[in-house]
Amino acid sequence: MKVYFTGSIKGKYKYIDNYLKIIEIIKDKKFSIISDHIIKTTEDQISLETKEGRLRFNKKLESWISSCDFMIAETSFPSISVGYEISLAIRLGKPVLILFSEGHAPSLFAHFKNEKLVCEKYSLETLKDIIDDFINYVQGTEETRFTFFITPEIALHLEEISKKEKLPKSVYLRKLIEKDIKVRNK
């Protein structure tokens, strides 16, 4: 599979370890990942680029996104460019995993209803499980993705458990359901 990774170039100085961990997880799966444009580019290089150079790069970026199987976007540091790339991927029907390690999901995407768009808060400890779940979803090995509304009290409880247990809320819920299935099948 081919994966397109994006994140803020300005924010990579704060989140470089997170970016590299995401890339490592994808490479460990023997997937091809497009990430050098984020990891190897500096703000200075971008500011010195000519208008023609920026247009050439944009065509290359569009080609990368249209040829990928899915996108992973690290959005802890806000970036209009990353938002543009996510929007392009959604328009092209690509599954997109939006990751953020602090605060909240990007406001423009947090409430956007699209089954191919998944927003997840992560820590370095939960990152692999979140990415694995998303890849399973993309590959169709998961039977169903199920979304439902919860009360603020339930949301707070899930957030506390997620932090305490250092695992994604979806993994916690899935384990509860699997445990219930085992009890019922005895």
Q: Between the ranges 25-29, 134-138, 180-184, where is the mean pLDDT highest?
A: 25-29
139 with 161, same domain: the answer is no
Give yes or no for residue 106 having a pLDDT over 70: yes
pTM over 0.95: no
Cα dihedral: 86, 2, 129, 94 (round 10): 30
Specify whether 97 is located in the same domain as 171: no
Report which of 117, 112, 63 is spatially closest to residue 90, judged by C-alpha positions: 117
- The range of the structural domain enclosing residue 162 comes to 148-186
Does residue 67 sit in the same domain as residue 135? yes
Q: What is the mean pLDDT of the chain?
A: 86
